[in-house]
Structure 1
Amino acid sequence: MQLLKNIIFDYGNVIFEIDFKKAQKALLDLGITNIEDFFAHKNHNALFDDFETAAITPDEFRKGIRKATGNDEVTDEQIDAAWNSLLIGVPPTIHDTLLKVKAKYRTFLLSNNNVIHYDYIVNYLKNEFGMDDNSSLFEKTYYSQQMYLRKPNVEIFDQVIKENNLDPNETLFIDDSPQHIAGAQKAGLHTLLMDQHPRDLEAFLIKNGIL
């Protein structure tokens, strides 16, 4: 990609390892039975979309989880623990890799996120890496709950492009979800599907001529 000047990174399973199966088990343990319809990588209940676009509050999200379990006695702490079980962590050297990329390109983070996960991640980054957040790794970070939009809607890509005066022909989007890749392509972006574990991010970038 000789004309490549800008890279937009997804977060989950590109940089930060997540495990949908672990979260599915935790939600099953709370009492949610139709788990593949309720929460999976490519399909989920509208409750999650609403939470990721800040259409509902954390308390409303927890209320929705309680309704799905059929058990009003499930506590906030139990729900948060089950929901955050999705989040595994950042493999070693990933942040160094991102700084290498930042030295060569304009880089951005675009993540479907939510208040409960975001707060957990910020606390994790402080405890594990002494970082306040992800802002030092990118020119700018974008989170769905702060934008009131989520991938794969083309509008979220258009907003990042417009705010940063990016030329889509010079911009690459990297994500692990085919549906998000499709949304980015509608916005005119070049795309790469991350099909490896986040620990292999640097090797993935080298293989694709980015580093």
Structure 2
Amino acid sequence: MENIKNIIFDYGNVIFEINFKRTQDALLQLGIANSTEFYGHRNQNPIFDDFEMAGVSSEEFRAEIRNAANNQNLTNQQIDEAWNSLLIGVSANNHDVLLATKKKYRTFLLSNNNEIHYDWIIKHIKERYNINNYDDFFEKAYFSQIMKLRKPNVNIFEQVIKENNLNAAETLFIDDSPQHIEGAKKAGLHTLLMDVHPEKLEDFLKEKGIL
């Protein structure tokens, strides 16, 4: 792509495969009858937004799940396993793809995340790939629970732009969520909607003229 010098990547279903239905089914098994309305790709109970911005702790999050399931006997392990069932793993050779992209552009990660998912992901990449974190793959990795901001709010994009002295007109944002794309556009960023499986990330970037 012409004039693009910087790329901000989303994580879930761009680099790392996730499956919302798995968690919806798992929450249903915990006793949350309206699990598809309670948690989804585009709409969800406010507890999830709060958790992603560290507005509630992991313990407070688990307490809300117990309340929603009307079952105070659910264990932390049961709740965490249901919540983490969303997470599949890093697809194909995506770490190599990120390193190749980093050679051509300033690259950043911007993920709506939370403490329970983050801990699972770090454990996963350590055990499977012997990677401790994402410091080597991006100039900087941003996570919503640390920033206490989340996509699609424009202020999260503006903070990444300001902290790294980025020119928005030279910066591309890639995400699989249309609502996040709209937030990035409000911050003046170029955008691409990731509409293929994350295992196709390399093909997607080549097709768009990025690699």
* SS of equivalent to 1:159: helix
The equivalent of 1:51 in structure 2 is: 51
Q: Which amino acid aligns with 1:120?
A: W
Q: Are 1:111 and 2:104 counterparts?
A: no
User: Identity, % of aligned pairs?
Assistant: 63
List per-residue Cα deviations over 1:36-68 (Å, max 9, x = no partner).
Answer: 220011100000000000000000000000000
| Alignment match, 2:101 | 101
TM-score after normalising by structure 1:
0.99
Runs of at least 4 residues off by over 4 Å: none
**CA-CA distance at 1:92 after TM superposition:** 1.9
For 1:11 and 1:64, locate their aligned partners in 2 and report how far apart those are by CA, in whole Å: 26
The yes-or-no answer on 1:181 pairing with 2:188 is no
Gaps of 5+ in 1: none
Q: Does 1:17 align with 2:17?
A: yes
Where does residue 91 of structure 2 map in the other structure? Answer: 91
| 1:135 shift after superposition | 1.4
Question: 1:198 is matched with which residue?
Answer: 198
CA shift for structure 1 position 96: 0.3
> Matched residue pairs, number?
211
Instruction: Provide the C-alpha distance between the structure 1 equivalents of 2:134 and 2:27, rounded to a whole number of angstroms.
Output: 28
Return the offset for 1:130. Answer: 0.2
In structure 2, what is the equivalent of residue 74 of structure 1? 74
Gaps of 5+ in 2: none
SS at structure 2 position matched to 1:137: coil
- Structure 2 equivalent of residue 30 of structure 1: 30
Query: C-alpha distance in 1, partners of 2:91/2:30?
Result: 29
Aligned-residue offset at 1:97: 0.4
Structure 2 equivalent of residue 8 of structure 1: 8
Partner-residue secondary structure (3-state), 2:136:
helix
**Post-superposition shift, 1:91?**
1.3
Cα RMSD (Å) = 0.5
AA at the equivalent of 1:123 = K
The alignment's TM-score, normalised by the length of structure 2, stands at 0.99
